[in-house]
Structure 1
Amino acid sequence: MKNVAIIMGGYSSEYQISLKSGNVVYNFLDKTKYNAYRIHIFKEKWVMVDENENEFPVNRHDFSVNYVGIKLTFDVVFNAIHGTPGEDGLMQAYFELLGIPQTSCDYYQAALTFNKRDMLSVLKPYGIKTATSYYLDRGNVINEDEIIKTVGLPMFVKPNKSGSSFGISKVKTKEELLPAIENAYKEDNEIIIESFLDGTEVSVGVINYKGETKVLPITEIVSENDFFDYEAKYLGKSQEITPARISDDICQKVEAVSKKAYEVLKMKGFSRSEFIIVNGEPFMLEMNTIPGLTTESILPQQAKEAGISLTELFDNAIELALA
């Protein structure tokens, strides 16, 4: 039996969603094949949490746990941390140094995709379309007229490195621009401002399944709010329709672009990319490398539609990491 450490929590605003994802992995993992252990990673402590919610400190020197008098080590790590340090490359690099396989992409891909600006600029030369954008770093002079002239109104103001729509605003008037920038700076010291793309929003899961790149059935996002924000994502203020209501022709285009992005970036493990389809053309917004894994999350919904159970999905991720 392989010992699996499921890491969850993290240092960002997304830690509660990560704890949910990690517990789903824990509950659905095949217990006949794996001994699963929940590891909470927080700034103030790294601990293993047992069935009775007792905490045992993790030795960061070799990622082991002294558990009821035995030294517990792990064969593989299942990464369920959204945001830093699980989705931005830090944990990936740490486990690579320790020689412990883990289920997400490698540290470079994690760091690159976590940085929306850098990822989109790497993909652009491959013909992947993106919104018109404008970049700001904390301390830069803010020229509102120049921003509006570049990207137009309405526009989206986003932290460059954050997830779950924290810090994102849709700006419709010049008066809303400065408060939106302040809001984004609460999450990150870099901002990406993008033109509003008026079209159909879709989310596409791409995974390595049994050694092959597999594009999962596409999900269409219909938000009751102005955009797919935190409420829409987690508090039921959206419809997620899988498979998406798009033509076969557009579906093939989106699948091809999603697969290309996954392969160009030399991705591994799970990924979920967001696109807006405008006049039949997919424009890429971002890629998540640790997508939500709760039973309501988009990627598990897509896997289900493809006939892959959560147990099979998680088993496949661990088998590939161990291979």
Structure 2
Amino acid sequence: MSLNLSRFRVGYLERPMNESFLTTAAGFPDLEVRRIALDQPEAAVAAALAECHGYYAWAARHELPLPWHVTPALLARLPDLLVVASYGAGYDTIDVEACTAAGVAVVNQAGGNAEGVAEHALGMILLLLKRVPEAQAAMRAGTVSDRNALIGRELAGRTVGLVGLGHVGARMAQLLAVFGCRVLAADPALDAATIAGRGATKVELPELLGAADIVSLHCPLTAETRGMIDAAAIGRMRPGAILVTTARGFILDEAALLSALQEGRLGGAGLDVWEEEPPPASHPLLAHPAVLASPHTAGVTAESRARVASMAAEAFGAAVHGLPPRLVNPEVADRFLARRDALLRAAA
């Protein structure tokens, strides 16, 4: 039996990303938001989700319990699900192809945390150029004897390569303009004119890697980008170059990066995303003095969290009467509308 759409029910597990999700959702009279506790049997959680038309899904793959990742198996248990919205810009916990096949719209909150992530990446670049991680390690070890052994570099006038020029990459280009940087961008989804309008010069990835003093990753994890920055790609980078990633784990080959750092071919690395999150304390990259590390917190700011959570609530509100914004799978639009309208007719 189809569900009654007089109220569009949205379920979330345990906690919303931010209270602004609840306050924003309260402004949409057609939405009914339900908290689903995880301290109950799996069958009870599934039954509660099955009563919802929308699923507000955690975005971090290592935080969300596997049964609640949006997979074909979960979708089969939720036949009336219409919309899945990720907690953030990423959607690693959502099988987009499976959702499309099921007629389920997938929404992310792209752009909501762009400022936080861009500022984090820029901060990492500045700290690595000034060799702050190495200096701090030496001070803690009591081995500082000659400041000239820690001589740094300035960002002003340097060439920075941005891999991906979406919301975060475009904001990075704006911030780098303040330092008079030459900004190169590799993004196959954008033409040269669009990239120029965002403050960068379009190049292909091999050219970017060979020309940049700093390479910063801002692309999504896809079949094409998985493992893209491998040993061969790192080998194309300039001696002493710095690599920063605030994108997604698995784009960068961590073992290849470690080798390049140990051999002294790179000048440092800033890592906010990892293959395993958080990485174990024994991870060898964490012990390298030229590595600046954070546990996927670039976008974890008070402002970003509030903004992103409000965006998700607005997306569910929009889905009641039309297409939600920021569709990750726009090809699902007709099927989504047909399924939603069928539920509406059944409820009439």
- TM over 0.5, shorter chain: no
Using structure 2 for the length normalisation, give the TM-score. 0.34
Between structure 1 and structure 2, the one with the greater Rg is 2
Greater length-normalized contact order (CA 8 Å, ≥ 6 residues apart): 2
Task: From the two aligned structures, give the one with the greater helix fraction.
Answer: 2
